[in-house]
A and B are shown apart, each in its own frame.
Chain A
Amino acid sequence: SQQGEEDPQALSIQEGENATMNCSYKTSINNLQWYRQNSGRGLVHLILIRSNEREKHSGRLRVTLDTSKKSSSLLITASRAADTASYFCATDVGSGGYQKVTFGIGTKLQVIP
């Protein structure tokens, strides 16, 4: 099964609204990343949050991490039609050596103009 699981699997909102996506994971992590994938394209890194951080901001993005609940959320404020994409969380697994990253199944976000 996936290490990271996003919720919801699909989300449709009006332009200007905020979009919140959640990610839950099973085992302890060193860091968690969020990626965006536009249709037919590769994934693009958005933001990385380390296990000792609780919140991080980047432009209209806000990521929180709750290691006690093994969950993270991605908030996109004032959404735009261009934010329409799939969003994935990625967590590193394993101990020692290189940390292998595992991606969730993604949340498909549609922003309606």
Chain B
Amino acid sequence: DAGVIQSPRHEVTEMGQEVTLRCKPISGHDYLFWYRQTMMRGLELLIYFNNNVPIDDSGMPEDRFSAKMPNASFSTLKIQPSEPRDSAVYFCASSSIRVPRVFVQETQYFGPGTRLLVL
């Protein structure tokens, strides 16, 4: 398996532009996570999906951020309009609950991240 795939790896855009980040989770994984990492705030969970359904989006900073998972092999994180304070590294991760009905977090597999710079 190629692991979690993210694109683009780097994105430089101007304030006000729309940014779309993409993620392909590991095949067979039923959980997908979006994180944001900055020096000031560390690694923050933005949203996670289970079986393509958003479960918890309480970490999404504001309405400018939206995430979708149209199918089990693809997810997007969109920022519209982007602002300089959105500059960060955005990670996608996936995992699988291996023990049904015992809800214990198991290993998350991270993608390489998208480094976003909003000018």
Contact = CB atoms under 8 A, between A and B. Distances in A.
A103 B105 CA distance: 13
B1 to A, nearest CB: 15
Interface in A26-70: 30-31, 33, 40-45, 48, 50
Interface residues of B, number: 24
Interface stretch (B11-19, B42-50, B62-70, B74-82): B42-50
Interface stretch (A15-23, A72-80, A91-99): A91-99
B55 A98 contact: yes
Q: Is the contact region of chain B dominated by helix, strand, or loop, or is it mixed?
A: strand
15 contacts: A41-B113, A42-B4, A42-B91, A43-B91, A45-B109, A48-B107, A92-B105, A98-B55, A98-B97, A99-B103, A100-B45, A101-B108, A103-B35, A103-B42, A105-B42
Interface of A: 2, 30-31, 33, 40-45, 48, 50, 88, 90, 92, 96-106
Given A43-B91, A50-B104, A96-B103, 10 more contacts: A2-B42, A41-B112, A42-B4, A42-B91, A42-B112, A45-B107, A98-B97, A102-B45, A103-B42, A106-B43
